[in-house]
Amino acid sequence: MNQSALKVEAVGKRFQLGATESYTTLRESLVRFGKAPWKATRTRRNNDNPTIWALEDISFDVDHGEVLGIIGHNGAGKSTLLKILSRITEPTRGSIEIRGRVGSLLEVGTGFHPELTGRENIFLNGAILGMKRVEIRRKFDEIVAFAEIERFLDTPVKRFSSGMYMRLAFAVAAHLDPEILLVDEVLAVGDLAFQNKCLRKMKDVSSTGRTVILVSHNMGAIHRLCPRCLLLDHGRLAMDGPTEDVVRAYIAHGIDEVGIVTQPPAPRKPIHLRRAYTATREDNHQRDFRFDEGLSIVVEFEVNREIADCAVWVGLRTVEQVWVLGSTDSDSDESRLGTRNPGYYRTQLDLPASWLNAGMYEVVVGINRQSPAKSFDRVEVGTFNILDVDTPSRLRTGQSRPGVLQPFLDWQQHQLAADEPALLEDPGEHHD
Amino acid sequence: MTAEERSNATELPVTHIRPTSGLVSLKLGELWEYRELLFFLTWRDIKVRYKQTALGAAWAILQPLLTMLVFTIFFGRLAKIPSDNVPYPLFAYTALLPWQLFAYSMSQAGNSMVASQQLIKKIYFPRLVIPISAVLGGLVDFCLAFVVLIGMMFYYQVVPTQGILLLPFFILLALATALAVGLWLSALSVKYRDVRYTLPFLTQFWLFITPIAYPSSLVPEKWRILYGLNPMAGVVEGFRWALLGKSGAFGPMILASAVAVTVLLIGGLAYFKSLERTFADVV
């Protein structure tokens, strides 16, 4: 007997390319119809627009109470799959059987209205997410407490800070009580404390026997919440297994693409970023680095007109969206803040070897002017991996260790003699 | 899984998702399940409409009142358009009530799908909820303006006949017309953004072919059924008959209007439903 909460069989979804011109004007259609009325619609469907399979032949089962993660690079089809499961869009082929009520959380705060108060939005958003009025009333106090917005209940949410707004939105969603919960990337919001609160709440939800499907780039969250994970690659199911293995495969094989950005010349901008990538010290473009191997972030930019007070910067963050560092090219030579002459430049930021912990990192580069403040470029370069080989913890204990950095640090230590005063007294008391 | 859980699992509602093809059913049962969402969306529209407006709900009364004033001066006094022996202000205002309900609801419904695209792309619910809630939002203004009508009837000492019992039917007819046109326009607007520009023109054009400033009795008898194919003609004359008790023998005309609305509404529902599955991809 089939008792899966969710049974997905050979699901595929085809999209028409050229989505930007997907809505036409009536005139175009009329003209087309006027020219050849007998094939007005057919022509367009078959020839004009090439199609692409955003998802192809996806099959999997999810048991009741299971928490399933879905990972994959951008455009792999994760969100499309979630949209099909939540019935927002239809599959082109295949079938899905779902046992239980489905609640989907593809965006935090869907349907929030800025003019309405916090109280009003709780009811509105609850209804949009599929809660009954009595249900919302019952959970109202809990939602308000979770969001920590008691004092602002009767303020229009347009006056909320973005943090408050997100907290309220998540609070409503977190109190949704369906048998099956579909969640997309909503944990990437709010400050760290609130993110952890959300993760705990998700964990509670899953421990009460609910089925959860979670799409995320946040490998930390996936690790903590989901024992099992799917890996999507170009619309196909590349892997289905224990999260540990799937995440490792995702990272090791660098299924995430390229990690190099190039931009065409922009003669009208005074200064313009042309190329950025991660590389070995010898300037070979690469995305996977050994722990004990240094890596460089290379940025090429073009100065079209003399410009002063500009800096090229590099930002580094973990895939959990925690910033590791920000650095500018004027840090090591302040004269770079002076006038830059036209020309094509390459600059290279070297990150030390045996320093970043194993894991995946994201690189952002950009060019800013300090005053008047202006951002000329801000580009996501992509990700790179530090492989978990020869790190201190692996070498000593064979296990991985938490943290963003894992440098070899010096510990000074010696044995104390029996009569030495040690730390019995607080050194602060000796001040006067 | 324990035995208890297993028996629970079999009781859970089962949803099947597969590509639909051919004719789609209306799924009115599902619409009923989402009635609370319908209520909240309507409530939101009403609530938001008058936030940050200086005059607030007074707008609901001012619009028909001022239009009536202008009509009375130019059409009633200066152009001396007949008004079936009813004081012209009352004659015009009685017609403006359902007209404004219709015009407002139609344009709200027509724009509703594009206005709610964020929702459509992120949440599943029967899409019909959106135009229907937009149409219902017009009722509050209507009720407010209706209070003024009651006052005017006292002033002119006009007593309604039993025909007033049929008033809800005419209100329903006005809403159905707004929904029917709104369904067509909102479904079209997902694909063709022209609709936004069509609406003001359509409303104005429709105003002139509806007997608001003039009585239908100006239209020769043999053309009245044809004239009734404009559903709003039937609604307006129905209102006058129900409230002012003037029997202009518009029965066949009103019947023609009812038939026209039914056809328009069924067509609109079918068209809307046939496009529903692609809304989230296209909008």
Q: Classify A55 as helix, strand or coil.
A: strand
The neighbouring-strand residues paired with A382 are A363
- Residues in CB range of B60: below 8 A, 6 or more apart: B140, B141, B142, B144, B145
DSSP assignment, residue A13?
E
Q: Please, are residues A387 and A377 in contact by the beta-carbon 8 Å criterion?
A: no
Question: What are the phi and psi torsion angles at B247 (to 5°)?
Answer: -95, 100
Report, as an integer, the average pLDDT of A373-394: 80
Kindly determine whether residue B17 and residue A15, on different chains, have CB atoms separated by under 8 Å.
no
CA distances from A194 to A146, A166, A167, A180, A213 (A): 10, 10, 8, 23, 21
Kindly determine whether residue B1 and residue A115, on different chains, have CB atoms separated by under 8 Å.
no
Taking phi first (over 0 means left), then psi (-120 to 50 degrees means alpha), and beta for anything else, what does residue A208 get? Answer: alpha
- Chain A closest CA to B51's CA: distance in Å? 7
Per-residue pLDDT of A187-203, as tens digits, reads: 655 565 666 777 777 77
Per-residue pLDDT of A244-265, as tens digits, reads: 888 877 766 654 455 677 888 8
Q: Is A91 on the interface with B (CB under 8 A)?
A: yes
Considering only alpha carbons, which residue of chain A is nearest residue B117? A111
Tell me the residue type at B159: V
- The region of weakest confidence among A107-121, A270-284, A393-407 is A393-407
pLDDT on residue A394: 66
Domains by residue range for chain A, with CATH = 6-26+35-252 (3.40.50.300), 260-386 (2.70.50.60)
Tell me the three-class secondary structure of chain B, residue by residue.
CCHHHHHHHHHCCEEEECCCCCCCCCCHHHHHHCHHHHHHHHHHHHHHHCCCCCCCCHHHHHHHHHHHHHHHHHHHHHCCCCCCCCCHHHHHHHHHHHHHHHHHHHHHHHHHHHHCHHHHHHCCCCCCHHHHHHHHCHHHHHHHHHHHHHHHHHHHCCCCCHHHHHHHHHHHHHHHHHHHHHHHHHHHHHHCCCHHHHHHHHHHHHHHCCCCCCCHHHCCHHHHHHHHCCHHHHHHHHHHHHHHCCCCCCHHHHHHHHHHHHHHHHHHHHHHHHHHCCHHHHC
- CA separation for the pair A79, A55 (Å, rounded): 10
Confidence of residue A40 (pLDDT cuts 50, 70, 90): very low
The neighbouring-strand residues paired with A98 are A6, B15
Considering only alpha carbons, which residue of chain B is nearest residue A99? B14
Nearest to B14 among A98, A111, A127 (CB): A98
The structure's pTM equals 0.72
User: Would you tell me how many other CB atoms lie within 10 Å of the CB of residue B2?
Assistant: 7
Does residue A332 or residue A1 have the better pLDDT? A332
- CA separation for the pair A307, A338 (Å, rounded): 8
Considering only alpha carbons, which residue of chain A is nearest residue B191? A23
Per-residue pLDDT of A407-432, as tens digits, reads: 888 899 888 887 766 665 555 545 44
- Helix (H) or strand (E) segment spanning residue A260: strand A260-262
**CA nearest B115: which of B185, B184, B186, B36?**
B186
Per-residue pLDDT of A268-278, as tens digits, reads: 889 999 989 99
- Chain A closest CA to B203's CA: distance in Å? 19
- CA separation for the pair A282, A399 (Å, rounded): 30
Q: Which of chain B's residues have a Cβ under 8 Å away from the Cβ of A3? A: 1, 6, 9-10
Kindly determine whether residue A86 and residue B124, on different chains, have CB atoms separated by under 8 Å.
yes
Per-residue pLDDT of B226-278, as tens digits, reads: 888 999 999 999 999 888 886 666 788 888 999 999 999 999 999 998 888 88
Nearest to B192 among A23, A85, A133 (CB): A23
Tell me the residue type at B270: A
Kindly determine whether residue A99 and residue B122, on different chains, have CB atoms separated by under 8 Å.
no
Considering only alpha carbons, which residue of chain A is nearest residue B278? A89
pLDDT on residue A257: 53
Report, as an integer, the average pLDDT of B102-126: 91
Q: Classify A122 as helix, strand or coil.
A: helix
Kindly determine whether residue A64 and residue B123, on different chains, have CB atoms separated by under 8 Å.
no
CA distances from B183 to A234, B40, B130, B135, B173 (A): 37, 20, 10, 10, 15
ipTM given for this complex = 0.83
Q: Which of chain A's residues have a Cβ under 8 Å away from the Cβ of B273? A: none
Sign, CA dihedral A126-A129-A135-A141, equals: negative
Q: Please, are residues A113 and A104 in contact by the beta-carbon 8 Å criterion?
A: no
- Chain A closest CA to B173's CA: distance in Å? 29
Which residues numbered 285-324 in A keep a CB inside 8 Å of some CB on B? none
Kindly determine whether residue A179 and residue B190, on different chains, have CB atoms separated by under 8 Å.
no
- CA separation for the pair A84, A432 (Å, rounded): 72
Considering only alpha carbons, which residue of chain B is nearest residue A184? B122
Which residues numbered 179-238 in A keep a CB inside 8 Å of some CB on B? 179, 209
The neighbouring-strand residues paired with A379 are A365
Q: Is B199 on the interface with A (CB under 8 A)?
A: no
